[in-house]
Structure 1
Amino acid sequence: MTRSGRPTLDDVAREAGVSRMVASRAVNGAANVSPRAAARVHEAIAALGYVQHAGARAMALNRTGTIGFIAPMANQRFFADPNVAAVLGGIKEVLQDSPIQLVTLIVEDQQDQLKAARYVKGGHVDGVIVLTPELLEPLVVDIAGAGVPIAANGLVDGAPRMDSLVTDTRKGAGDMCTYLARAGVTRCAVIAGQRDVPSTWNMIAGIRDVFPGTSEDHITFGDHTPEAGRNRMHELLDRDLGFDGVFVASDVMASAALPVLIDRGFRVPDDVQLVGWDNSLPADTCRPSLTTMSIPFHGIGRSLASMLTDRINGAAGGRVTPVTTAIVRRGSSRPVRSPD
């Protein structure tokens, strides 16, 4: 016993009648222990109330007890993005009763990618969760090639063992535009996400599935900031395209585009219907509130954390799981017309 009265591994070994080495192997789940000896050790653990020190177990398993969260964005956007906060909340919920710590790596440029790769491959974490892995493909492929477990909300060629959650943005955008068409929209303008992200083009494809006349003039691109929402809305209005609907790739941009429409004399939703994407806090706080596509970011965080911890504990990688989405109708769109 220790001075505090807590049983030690030596006490367990004596109680079980085995050597300290055998007791240690049994406690850590090693395969080279006979079933009979392992049973005696676990009976001794139960009898004595032995609890292994988390640090000792991590060392025995060659683990750090830490996982990384990698996000490809500037510092100021990271701390202001409601979707990042929701994902982190879901991760924390899974980890809160475990000894695992979370370290955040904010990656803004190529130098940050190199630093993150050195850190992760240096053995400082047991695995990583990657946000928007399409923006970090070289980094993801690099650390995946080093055998580091990864869970991400997207797919990357070259990382076949990465566990992924995938949102079908083409189908989701098509569903939203079908809703807009049934609500009376005939010409749709678009404030899309970043040009270099595959999901942006999937979303545009879904919009064109329903509104095939959506030309390049009808599309602008933004970085999911309020400034982008305001500026891109002004650009679309200045083009005088005569649209009666606007599809915006995030609620942060949509909530900033909305007052631009109103200030320039358009009634929402009477003259122009506006929809967002995410169902984050801005969608419910602007006026009128935003019709949007609900993406369960808190649930995504929970799932990513569970997938990663399963993988660290020996589960096979390469799982691809679809994310369920749903339209949330609010005041920025008109009611859907009843079919004749």
Structure 2
Amino acid sequence: MGFAVAPEVSRVTPVSDLTAKRKPTIRDVAVQAGVSRSTVSRVINGGHWVSPDARVAVEEAIIATGYTANHHARSLATGRAGSMAFLLTEPQQLLFDDPTFALLLRGAAEALAQRSMTLVLLVAGTAAERESVAHFISAGHVDGVMLISSHESEPLLEELIDTGIPTVCCGIPLGHEGELSTVSVDEVASARAMAAHLRTQGHQRIGMITGPDDTPGGRYRLVGFREELGEAFDESLVEVGDYSFESGQAAMARLMERGVDAVFAASDRMAAGAVAAARKAGLRVPDDVAVAGFDDSGLAATHQPPLTTMRQPWDQISAQMVTVLLDVIAGAEPRSVILDTELVVRASA
């Protein structure tokens, strides 16, 4: 595996009055040096895979801006913490309600244990929790962060980038594509595969319960669904949920009022809610309406009827996140790993 070397850079005019009102950040150093924030981060984290000119520019910019590296950056020179953060930017109860997070947590812990490293669980679902987590990370208690769930407007994501802490995201960080390393499944292709399956079963009015548009799963699974249906796509047969059972149930009730013979839900939990709504309305699954989900995190196989779904490779996702994060800590350029999913056909569709 090779790593790109940062190109030579040109100097820019000094950034004035950076410290007048606030503490300078990596963003300020990057602007002053005329390089990317990831290049500044690599210099701070040891200078690997950075051209001599870029390194000099960053070092001079650090002096010019008055930037002070956090404890994390300083600790890398004397010895790492030996631990990684598993950061969930969702309400605390989702850690227990949504089985996908538990699968990722277990896989990441096992992958780190094989390297004699520790996993630290951090939950930041409120403003107070975000502030506490940001302080904990910047204090150098972890060597890197696995960001498990992020929304496009998530303020902690911007702070992670600005502080320079090595970070890998599970899924594409909307609004920050290319700035951080990512491990994700092919959301578009996965949704296309499920839509194609439902069409081959003879369904004509196929609805979708998508996730929030500010999440990569919510946005790109809808893109794939729309692309596969083509001219048959009907915007009125799309409802938005939040990946929960309750939102799937409510969305299905609205879709049934418009008449659907199949529904693709962007999570198994929403698919289970859709089945419950269909039963409440006196419909049989799959005889009257087919229902399919996404994830295959355990719920799909035990549900009645068992759910047709797109299986995410949970162990691979966790293992790849650990591998990529260790590369970032070593100074590698941000990179994206995209994994395939698998269509699992069961009784619900």
Give the alignment's TM-score, normalised by structure 2. 0.72
The one-letter amino acid paired with 1:222 is: G
Contact 2:153/2:214, CA 8 A, preserved across alignment: no
* Cα displacement string for residues 212-232 of structure 1 (whole angstroms, at most 9, x for unaligned residues): 444343122122122222222
User: Matched residues in 2 for 1:174 and 1:159: separation?
Assistant: 22
1:122 Cα deviation from its structure 2 partner = 2.1
Aligned to 2:29: none
Aligned to 2:344: 328
Which residue of 194, 198, 206 maps to 1:180?
A: 198
Aligned to 1:318: 334
The one-letter amino acid paired with 2:161 is: A
Which residue of 178, 183, 200 maps to 2:218?
A: 200
User: Matched residues in 2 for 1:189 and 1:128: separation?
Assistant: 37
The one-letter amino acid paired with 1:200 is: G
Which residue of 241, 245, 250 maps to 2:258?
A: 241
With over 3 angstroms needed to count, the CA separation of the structure-2 counterparts of 1:59 and 1:294, relative to structure 1, is closer
Q: 1:37-76 alignment to 2 at 5 Å?
A: 61-76=78-93
SS of equivalent to 1:152: strand
User: Matched residues in 1 for 2:144 and 2:178: separation?
Assistant: 15
* Cα displacement string for residues 96-119 of structure 1 (whole angstroms, at most 9, x for unaligned residues): 234422211112133333332222
User: Matched residues in 1 for 2:318 and 2:153: separation?
Assistant: 18
Contact 2:109/2:118, CA 8 A, preserved across alignment: no
With over 3 angstroms needed to count, the CA separation of the structure-2 counterparts of 1:259 and 1:133, relative to structure 1, is closer
Which residue of 124, 132, 142 maps to 1:125?
A: 142
1:274 Cα deviation from its structure 2 partner = 0.8
Gaps of 5+ in 2: 1-74
User: Matched residues in 2 for 1:98 and 1:198: separation?
Assistant: 30
Q: 1:59-138 alignment to 2 at 5 Å?
A: 61-135=78-152, 137-138=154-155
The one-letter amino acid paired with 2:241 is: G
Aligned to 2:250: 231
SS of equivalent to 2:214: coil
Contact 1:86/1:297, CA 8 A, preserved across alignment: yes
Are 1:218 and 2:234 counterparts?
no
* Cα displacement string for residues 137-193 of structure 1 (whole angstroms, at most 9, x for unaligned residues): 432232223221111112334474522113222221111101110111111111111
Give the alignment's TM-score, normalised by structure 1. 0.74
Aligned to 1:272: 289
With over 3 angstroms needed to count, the CA separation of the structure-2 counterparts of 1:308 and 1:136, relative to structure 1, is farther
Which protein shows a greater Rg? Answer: 1
The one-letter amino acid paired with 1:319 is: R
1:263 Cα deviation from its structure 2 partner = 2.9
User: Matched residues in 2 for 1:332 and 1:190: separation?
Assistant: 15
SS of equivalent to 1:223: coil
* Cα displacement string for residues 302-338 of structure 1 (whole angstroms, at most 9, x for unaligned residues): 21112222333x15131111111110000011xxxxx
1:120 Cα deviation from its structure 2 partner = 1.3
Counting aligned pairs with the same residue, the percent is 32
Contact 1:131/1:153, CA 8 A, preserved across alignment: yes
Contact 1:169/1:206, CA 8 A, preserved across alignment: yes
**Aligned-residue CA RMSD in angstroms?**
2.1
Are 1:163 and 2:184 counterparts?
no
SS of equivalent to 1:83: helix
Aligned length: 273
Which residue of 256, 277, 286 maps to 2:303?
A: 286
The one-letter amino acid paired with 1:277 is: F
User: Matched residues in 1 for 2:209 and 2:255: separation?
Assistant: 9
User: Matched residues in 2 for 1:299 and 1:96: separation?
Assistant: 15
The one-letter amino acid paired with 2:348 is: S
With over 3 angstroms needed to count, the CA separation of the structure-2 counterparts of 1:120 and 1:230, relative to structure 1, is same
Gaps of 5+ in 1: 1-57, 334-340
SS of equivalent to 2:285: coil
Contact 2:168/2:182, CA 8 A, preserved across alignment: yes
SS of equivalent to 2:207: strand
With over 3 angstroms needed to count, the CA separation of the structure-2 counterparts of 1:64 and 1:134, relative to structure 1, is same
Aligned to 1:190: 208
* Cα displacement string for residues 227-270 of structure 1 (whole angstroms, at most 9, x for unaligned residues): 22222222222xx2221110101001112221321232222212
The one-letter amino acid paired with 2:334 is: G
With over 3 angstroms needed to count, the CA separation of the structure-2 counterparts of 1:136 and 1:101, relative to structure 1, is farther
